[in-house]
Amino acid sequence: MASDAPASGSLADRVSQPEKTEAVGENGQSDGAVPQQGGSDLQEPEYTVEVKLSDLQDDPNNPLFSVKNFEDLGLDPRILQGLSAMNFRKPSKIQERALPLLMGNPAKNLVGQSQSGTGKTAAFVLNVLSRLDLSNEQLQKTPQALILAPTRELARQIVGVIQVMGQFLDGLNIGTAVPADSNARPTRLEASVVVGTPGTVMDMIKKRIMVPAKLKVIVLDEADNMLDQQGLGDQCIRVKALLPRDIQVVLFSATFPAHVHQYASKFAPNANELTLQHEELTVEGIKQLYLDCENEEHKYKTLVNLYGLLTVGSSIIFVKTRASAVEIEKRMVAEGHTVASLTGGIEGSQRDSIIDKFRAGEAKVLITTNVLARGIDVSTVSMVINYDIPEVYQQGNRQRQADFQTYLHRIGRTGRFGRVGVSISFVSNREEWEMLTQIQSYFNTDIQRIDTNDWDEVEDIIKKTIKNTRAQSNFGR
């Protein structure tokens, strides 16, 4: 096995001098933790969910405090049928704790945080489906639940989950409100559940295409990103101002930085809370590695050398800018490798086509920016490459700062819901090494170095990890 990460001094002797880096191209991001498999054989991390209960504290003997079976929730049998079709046999830990709080009557707000791939999307979709009244044709065409996501990819993914989970519910209509390639929009959005992005939803409400008067619940998926990201936060506030005052507000995310959490508490007042400390958030089951690279060109050659391993399952390569994604795709395709790239600069329908091909396995390697860092769940993804270490761009700050939340969300694209995965970060200069060190310190974890001089050993380490039923390292402890 390769040796553990050396001290920063010894690495600094090997890496090249810092090079000028180009400015970030985009900050678009996305989420939702949508497991495609459930089951009693899941090997879940043994973390503890801290629960702040404003309603159940009064009755500590409440039988719903810890739900062990979906049947205990009194769900509509047709929804249970949908869960069965998704191969969900029993609730995950976050579902076990969140569902009783979400589904109580009268409805209460919830701020929920749990690591990627643990079933958050299924939790809020169950609540949404359970609150719908589909008893007549008019109600079936009336928006009763609104789910907001930061990107069209995540919105489409959530729609897919609702379609499967609600497939046995007669009269369920699902509407989407995402940016369109053309001006083709309905004059009236007739759906019981609407999934969309904040700007488009706000536009549809203002134009009376969507009538919000009967909405019972609003969900913000990847809420920290939604409330913090420039533009989206303002849009979410404006959307909420157009909705009924007594609406149930549900916020879900894998991460909630302190300043966003304070804001979330105001957006969802008097909410029950499910929270994890950030030290516990590093995703278990993901073997975290890094490779030393001499410079940007060596990074690319290293990526090409890894290509055979990238296609064992599916892989996502995260880069800093749209230009980098396009350039790497162009070079790899010219050398005969099959890859695809997806960035925020691509038109909506083309983006849909690319992600659909990736899900279907027609393209096994996807190069992307942070637009796919959050929530996209493709069950075959076994490896994530941080071609560029994610960083926070602070004007005037000379020291480069790692973006901890984005790192966590990126590596969370693999190792979903109890499966195993590998993340590999490329380090090509002293500043990137320092950012990786910041990440290790923040999550209290070790990221193992593997030596690119011995590719047989590199392949051996990665293949063994992917084949293991679980990664052996105990991250985040």
pLDDT at 185: 63
Kindly state whether residue 3 falls inside one of the protein's structural domains.
Answer: no
Q: Name the pTM for this structure.
A: 0.68
Where is average pLDDT lowest: 337-341, 382-386, 424-428?
337-341
Kindly state whether residue 426 falls inside one of the protein's structural domains.
Answer: yes
Work out how many domains the chain is built from and give that number. 2
- Tell me which of 419 and 292 has the higher pLDDT: 292
User: Domain boundary residue among 245, 264, 279?
Assistant: 279
Residues 245 and 326 occupy one common structural domain? no
Residues 306 and 422 occupy one common structural domain? yes
Average pLDDT over residues 418-435: 87
Residues 91 and 56 occupy one common structural domain? yes
Kindly state whether residue 437 falls inside one of the protein's structural domains.
Answer: yes
* CATH number of the CATH domain containing 355: 3.40.50.300
Residues 373 and 407 occupy one common structural domain? yes
d(CA 61, CA 354) in angstroms, rounded, equals 50
User: Do 100 and 73 meet the contact criterion of CB atoms below 8 Å apart?
Assistant: yes
Residues 258 and 332 occupy one common structural domain? no
Residue 395's CB: how many other CB atoms inside 10 A? 4
pLDDT at 346: 77
Kindly state whether residue 33 falls inside one of the protein's structural domains.
Answer: no
Residue 99 carries which side chain, given as an amino acid letter?
L
What domain range is 307 assigned to? 286-473
Residues 261 and 169 occupy one common structural domain? yes
Average pLDDT of the residues of the chain: 78
d(CA 22, CA 320) in angstroms, rounded, equals 9
Residues 266 and 297 occupy one common structural domain? no
Of all residues in the chain, what percent carry a pLDDT higher than 70?
A: 77
pLDDT at 46: 44
Residues 341 and 435 occupy one common structural domain? yes
- Tell me which of 167 and 154 has the higher pLDDT: 167
pLDDT tens digits for 102-139? 998 899 999 988 766 667 888 999 999 999 999 999 99
Residues 301 and 416 occupy one common structural domain? yes
Residue 260 carries which side chain, given as an amino acid letter?
V
Residue 262 has pLDDT above 70, yes or no: yes
pLDDT tens digits for 359-395? 888 888 899 888 777 667 777 788 899 999 999 877 7
Residues 268 and 314 occupy one common structural domain? no
Kindly state whether residue 105 falls inside one of the protein's structural domains.
Answer: yes
pLDDT tens digits for 265-322? 888 999 998 875 555 555 566 889 999 888 889 999 999 888 888 877 788 999 998 8
